[in-house]
Amino acid sequence: MSDPPPRRRHSRVGRTSAAIAVGVLLALAIPTVVAAQTDSITGTNIVATVGAQFSGVIATSTLPVGEVSVDWGDGIVTTGSIAAGGSISGTHTYTAEGDFGITLTSGAVVGHSTAVVLTPSQGAVLVGSDATTVPDGGAGTASVLSPGPGLTATLQRPTGPATLFVAVYGANPESDPVNAGGFYDVRVVGGGPTATLVVVFHYRGVSGSPRLMFFDAATGRYVPVQSPSIIADQGAQAITVTLDAATVPSIAQLTGTVFAAVAPTPAVAPIVAAPRFTG
């Protein structure tokens, strides 16, 4: 009886090598996908003074070093520079006060900044300022708090994006003389009719309960703020007011409007006539 034929032994090494080869082929066949970076320009808020040259950063970006077109919003277009790291700088002199939208363009990439331009008298006594961009329907706060007078403003529910700007002045920047515990600036660029603004004015050096006034450019005088919600806290030395589309001033009128916490008018004792004696 003959012996059975020998059993064939399969090589594990061969099968392993084949599997590795297939894996290498698959890896070569499926390239790694890297998402392309989209260049962008992110705007900011700047403060300038009429007649004084502004020079500084007006936006940030992801763009390489180079140049960018800058439309300053007053009919003047210049060329700005993009530094390493993407910061965009420009130089410009505004000839009128107000709020201006700045448009920056580099090829197909566009960004927007906001310039708040003060009068020379406001710029001369500016102590501090702050600004923030509030998204459509959202809320945002800007504040200037120092050992002296300060303020905190919160803008709520604007229609479309809005810029909220606040400032504190070290002295009265307007021609109408008043005795006040603080001079302030609050501006809203945009906002629409649905926005609500709550401002807390902190005053110093005034005894009694001061009146909240604002400078009316039409009359050249400080006049009382009119709002259903004005709360004066003598202990905290603060006045809280809510402004909207129906108050005086309204949110839409807050362009170059200076507020003041005006000291109360001293009471004057009535003059009593001396008794007359007849004889």
Tell me the per-residue pLDDT of 37-56, one tens digit each, with 9 for 90 and over.
Answer: 689 999 999 999 999 999 99
User: Residue range 100-128: average pLDDT?
Assistant: 96
Sole residue written with tokens 């003041």: 260
Residue 255 is predicted with a pLDDT of 86
| Buried b or exposed e, range 101-114, using 16+ CB within 10 angstroms | bbbbebeeeebbbb
Residue 79 has pLDDT above 50, yes or no: yes
Residue 264 is predicted with a pLDDT of 87
CA 119, distance to chain mean position in Å, is 19
Question: With contact defined as beta carbons under 8 Å apart, do 186 and 151 qualify?
Answer: yes
Judging by beta carbons within 10 Å of its beta carbon (0-12, 13-18, 19+), is residue 119 exposed, middle or buried?
A: middle
Using pLDDT thresholds of 50, 70 and 90, give the confidence band for residue 191: confident
Reported as a single tens digit per residue, the pLDDT across 225-279 is: 999 999 999 999 999 999 999 999 999 999 889 999 999 876 555 565 556 655 5
Residue 166, pLDDT > 80, answer yes
**Contacting residues for 83 by C-beta, under 8 A, at least 6 apart:** 65, 89
Question: Strand 45-49 to strand 109-118: parallel, antiparallel, or no bridges (unpaired)?
Answer: parallel
Q: How far apart are CA 56 and CA 78, in angstroms?
A: 14
How far CA 47 is from CA of 8, 167, 174, in Å, comes to 88, 10, 19
**Is pLDDT at 28 greater than 90 in this prediction?**
no
Choose among 211, 151, 150: nearest CA to 179. Answer: 211
Q: Specify the residue for token string 């400078």.
A: 215
Torsion sign (Cα): 120, 122, 128, 131: negative
The pLDDT confidence band at residue 27, using thresholds 50, 70 and 90, is very low
pLDDT digits (tens, 9 = 90+) for 259-274: 999 998 765 555 655 5
The amino acid present at 120, given as its one-letter code, is P
**DSSP code of residue 270:** P
pLDDT at 32: 56
Checking if the pLDDT of 20 tops 60, the result is: no
